[in-house]
Amino acid sequence: MNGQVDVLDTALIRQILESVDAGYDAQLEFLHELIKYPSQRGQEATAQDFMATALRSRGYDVDRWQIQLEDIQHLPGFSPAHVSYENAWNVVGAHRPRQAKGRSLILNGHIDIVPTGPLDMWSQPPYEPTIEQGWMYGRGAGDMKAGLSANLFAVDALARIGYRPAADVYQQSVIEEECTGNGALACLQRGYGADAAIITEPYNDMLGIAQVGVIWLQVEVRGHPAHAAFASQGFNAIEASYPLIAALHDLEARWNADKHPAYEQIEHPIHFVVSRIEGGDWTSSVPSWCLGLLTIMEESYIHI
């Protein structure tokens, strides 16, 4: 490469960045609309319709399909599903140049969001996004509808200055990221693979190249029921879970002490979180059961 090409590249880069800025208000408006869809797991269909319409209006070849477990459950990377797939819709918008050259690309984002938690802890309704001091607030704004919007408007920015990707680009809007990753897997199974993939999940303003992922555990403790007046004859399943939780935290400490070299710089890379617990049937009975759910997640992506 000679210096002249570098100068041209720099000019082109500036032109692209200016075009991204020129589309930013429209991008914000799009994100604002997208957040209004309460696309918690199992309820993503209308948000996916919105994505499909946006892709179609830009000339993408849109595929909106229902994920079938039998198509993916034999594949590496599949995770057992604990929820119904009756309303599990993926959307892909394909940009296919007539004569593709160069390398193909996936732009991926997930449309599913986690529950809101108690509404009285929100200063604004979670699905009515607001911008305060340069930050947009709303459930799913950061994780990761902003990323889905960025994927879409990145290619728009090229179009605005007269460019189009020379190779295939697949805009993937997937479900099931917050639990299994089966939505992205279903895209690959359906043939939407590429030479590279960019997932615009926000994380500390950096590019990550790998992540350990997440393990979900469920522990059920069985006790012995008794009337509260005769509690000494029973066995309390809720209280029996305390030493189990302590033992799991001992395991967490051991895993962090013996960490993978990739996490050398991170003091405490792995977190065990007791995230849900339920048990017992009646306030005046010794509980005969306790069910605890635990998530194990590492703190950092491996980044460049």
Q: Which residues contact 297 (CB under 8 A, 6 or more apart)?
A: 212, 213, 214, 215, 270, 271, 273
Nearest to Zn ion of 144, 157 (CB atom)? 144
User: Does 176 participate in binding Zn ion (rule CB under 5 A)?
Assistant: no
User: Does 113 participate in binding Zn ion (rule CB under 5 A)?
Assistant: no
What the block records as the tokens of 122 is: 């929100």
CA distance 59 to 63: 12
What CA–CA distances, in Å, run from 143 to 109, 113, 201? 9, 7, 7
- Choose which of 44, 63, 112, 143 interacts with Zn ion (CB under 5 A): 143
The footprint of Zn ion on this chain (CB under 5 A) covers a number of residues equal to: 3
- Catalytic residue (choose from 44, 112, 156, 168): 112
Stretch that binds Zn ion, among 136-144, 179-187, 205-213, 268-276 (CB under 5 A): 136-144
Quick check: 146 and 110 in contact, CB under 8 A? no
Q: Give catalytic status of residue 21 as yes or no.
A: no
- Choose which of 33, 49, 71, 201 interacts with Zn ion (CB under 5 A): 201
CA distance 245 to 291: 12
Q: Give catalytic status of residue 112 as yes or no.
A: yes
User: Does 71 participate in binding Zn ion (rule CB under 5 A)?
Assistant: no
User: Does 112 participate in binding Zn ion (rule CB under 5 A)?
Assistant: no
Nearest to Zn ion of 52, 141 (CB atom)? 141
- Give rounded-to-5 percent helix, strand, coil for the chain: 35, 25, 40
Nearest to Zn ion of 140, 287 (CB atom)? 140
Nearest to Zn ion of 199, 221 (CB atom)? 199
Q: How far is the CB of 140 from Zn ion (least distance, A)?
A: 9
In degrees and rounded to multiples of 5, residue 87 shows phi and psi of -125, 45
User: Does 144 participate in binding Zn ion (rule CB under 5 A)?
Assistant: yes
Taking Cα atoms as reference points, which of 247, 239, 251 lies closest to residue 280?
239
Q: Which residues of this chain interact with Zn ion, rule CB under 5 A?
A: 143-144, 201
Give the catalytic positions in this structure.
112, 177
